[in-house]
Amino acid sequence: MACILALDPQFSIDLQLIGGVIILQTLPSVGLGLMTRWFHRGALIAGWAGGMLAGLWMLYQIPNPAKGKEHFGGSAYSLSDLGFDTKMTIYTGILALAVNVAVAVIGTVVARAAKLADGGDATRTDDYFADEGDAKVKELDLTGTT
């Protein structure tokens, strides 16, 4: 309760937006890594690291003149900082995600060209299937009584 009353509400909003940028960087490595086996696992990790660094660097660059803060003033990155002649801004997480995916794709292409091993898959067919009556399958008590 003290945190809610003592902290500036803008700080909470900024913290949530920063957290969103960070969490968004897990999308390629987890989401794409589970959906397809095309990506090299090392490239996915490198993409995650690149996206995190790019996202945090861009967040650091955003000022908040209203509060007199030079850094971490929000999550809207000015496209003019990238050399575009515009006053438009974009969510930092999208730019960081683009860096993440680009590094993962380029890293995968390089890893495939270098013939780097993908690593072994430890899953077995039995890990995906369970039939009723199987000795390894246990009934769940859904009545709430134990």
State yes or no: pLDDT of 133 exceeds 80: no
pLDDT value of residue 74:
77
Q: What phi and psi, each to the nearest 5 degrees, are found at residue 78? A: -75, 125
Q: Categorize the per-residue pLDDT at 101 as very low, low, confident or very high, splitting at 50, 70 and 90.
A: very high
Domain ranges of the chain: 27-117
Check the CA dihedral 36-41-43-47 and report its sign. Answer: positive
In sequence order, the β-bridge partners of residue 64 are: 69
pLDDT value of residue 146:
58
More confident position, 59 or 4: 59
pLDDT value of residue 76:
84
The H or E element containing residue 77 is: strand 76-78
Query: pLDDT, tens digit, for every residue of 46-68?
Result: 999 999 999 999 998 888 777 77
More confident position, 92 or 75: 92
Q: How high is the mean pLDDT of the chain?
A: 86
Which amino acid, residue 108? Answer: T
| pTM score, whole prediction | 0.76
Cβ burial of 53 (10 Å; 0-12, 13-18, 19+) is middle
Query: What proportion of the chain, given as a percentage, has pLDDT over 90?
Result: 40
Which residue do the tokens 């490595």 mark?
A: 29
